[in-house]
Amino acid sequence: EIVLTQSPGTLSLSPGERATLSCRASQTVYSTYLAWFQQKPGQAPRLLIYGASGRATGIPVRFSGSGSGTDFTLTISRLEPEDSAVYYCQQFASTPLTFGGGTKVEIK
């Protein structure tokens, strides 16, 4: 099973600042199979990034993904108040599909 470790656990930043979220895999994940999700309280996860760097439909350009191998990053270039949420990475490379533990982004 591929274990995904996300850091930091919580990120507290001001509007307009840049957020950098990390996802580290326990073994190599081909970038095609790495995704990021955003989840707000009481809602289902929403796909942000697929294939490590592709933006899903309707996702603002301030969200970007990068990385390869075992290290992946989600960057929010300029935080907006509505970006307050928990962000999860997820791999599709092998079964069982697995999710990271999440990074909570708080807007000051």
Partner 1 sequence: DVQLVESGGGLVQPGGSLRLSCTASGFTFNSHWMHWVRQDPVKGLLWVSRINDDGGSTRYADFVKGRFTVSRDNSKNTLYLQMNSVRVDDTAIYYCVRRGNIAGHYYLDVWGKGTTVTVSS
Q: In terms of CB distance, is 5 or 16 closer to partner 1?
A: 5
The SS3 of residue 72 is: strand
Q: In terms of CB distance, is 8 or 15 closer to partner 1?
A: 8
Give the DSSP H or E segment for 67: strand 63-68
Kindly tell me which residue out of 46, 55, 62, 104 binds partner 1, with binding defined by CB under 8 A: 46
Q: Name 76's Cβ contacts closer than 8 Å, sequence gap at least 6.
A: 18, 19, 21, 62, 63, 83, 105
Stretch that binds partner 1, among 7-15, 17-25, 33-41, 71-79 (CB under 8 A): 33-41
Q: In terms of CB distance, is 74 or 79 closer to partner 1?
A: 74
